[in-house]
Amino acid sequence: MALEYMQSLYLIILTVLQFTHSLEPADSEPVAIPTDKLLVFTVATQQTDGFLRFMQTAKYFNYTVKVLGMGKEWKGGDVGKSIGGGQKVRLLKEAMQNYADREDLVVMSVDSYDLIFAGGPEELLKKFQQANHKVVFAAEGLVWPDKRLADKYPSIRSGKRFLNSGGIIGYAPHINKIVQQWELHDNDDDQLFYTKVYLDPLQRERLNITLDHKSQIFQNLNGAVDEVLLKFGTESVRARNVVYDSMPVVIHGNGNTKIYLNYLANYIPNSWNYEQGCGVCDNDLFDFTEVKEYPSVTIGVFIEQPTPFVPEFFEKLLTLDYPKDKLDIFIHNNEVYHEKHMQKLWVQNKNVFKSFKVVGPEENLSQGEARNMGMEHCRKRESCDYYFSIDADVVLTNTQTLRLLIEQNRKIIGPLVSRHGKLWSNFWGALSLDGYYARSEDYIDIVQSKRVGVWNIPYMAHVYLIKGETLRNELKERNQFVLEKLDPDMALCKNAGQLGVFMYITNRHEFGRLISTANYNTSHFNNDLWQIFENPVDWKEKYIHQNYSKIFTQNLAEQPCPDVFWFPIFSEKACDELIGEMEHYGSWSGGKYTDKRISGGYENVPTDDIHMTQVDYEKEWLHFIREYISPVTLKVFSGYYTKGYALLNFVVKYTPEGQASLRPHHDSSTFTINIALNSKGTDFEGGGCKFHRYNCSLESPRKGWSFMHPGRLTHLHEGLPTTNGTRYIAISFIDP
Positions marked active-site: 727
Is omega for the bond preceding 311 within 30 degrees of 0, making it cis?
no
Beta strand 38-43 with 106-110: parallel, antiparallel or unpaired?
parallel
> Could you tell me which of 704, 610, 629, 716 has the C-alpha nearest to residue 666?
716
Euclidean distance between CA atoms 222 and 3, whole angstroms: 40
Please answer whether residues 620 and 529 qualify as being in contact, where contact means their C-beta atoms are separated by less than 8 angstroms.
yes
Spatial neighbors of 543 by CB under 8 A, at least 6 apart, are 529, 570, 571, 573, 574, 577
* 637: amino acid identity, one letter: F
Q: Are 310 and 303 in contact (CB under 8 A)?
A: yes
The H or E element spanning position 394 is strand 394-396
Q: DSSP letters along 659-690, please?
A: ---EEEE--SSSEEEEEE-S-BTTTEEE--EE
Between CA 373 and CA 365 the distance in angstroms is: 10
Instruction: Report whether 711 contacts 626 (CB < 8 A).
Output: no
- Cβ atoms of 146 and 188 within 8 Å: the answer is no
Give the span between the Cα atoms of 123 and 121, in whole angstroms: 5
> Is the torsion defined by CA of 649, 655, 658, 659 positive or negative?
positive
Ordered strands of the 512-514 beta sheet:
394-396, 512-514, 418-419
Between strands 65-68 and 38-43, the pairing is: parallel
b/e burial code for range 95-114 (CB count within 10 A of at least 16 → b): bbeebeebeebbbbbbbbbb
Could you tell me how many residues make up the chain? 736
Exposure on the CB side of residue 525, measured as CA atoms within 13 A: 15
d(CA 202, CA 206): 6
Cis before 34 (ω within 30): no
Residue 676 CA to its chain's centroid (Å): 42
* CB contact set of 479 (below 8 Å; sequence gap of 6+): 372
Q: How far is CA 537 from the centre of its chain?
A: 20
Which residues does residue 611 pair with via DSSP β-bridges, in sequence order?
Answer: 650
Region of 69 (left: φ > 0; alpha: ψ -120 to 50; beta: rest) is left
Structural contact between residues 85 and 75, judged by C-beta atoms closer than 8 angstroms: no
* Long-range pairs for 477-484: beta carbons < 8 A, 24 or more residues apart: 478/372, 478/376, 478/379, 479/372, 480/371, 480/372, 480/375, 481/367, 481/368, 481/369, 481/371, 481/372, 481/375, 482/366, 482/368, 482/369, 482/372
Of the candidates 531, 482, 166, 519, the one whose C-alpha atom is nearest the C-alpha of residue 312 is 531
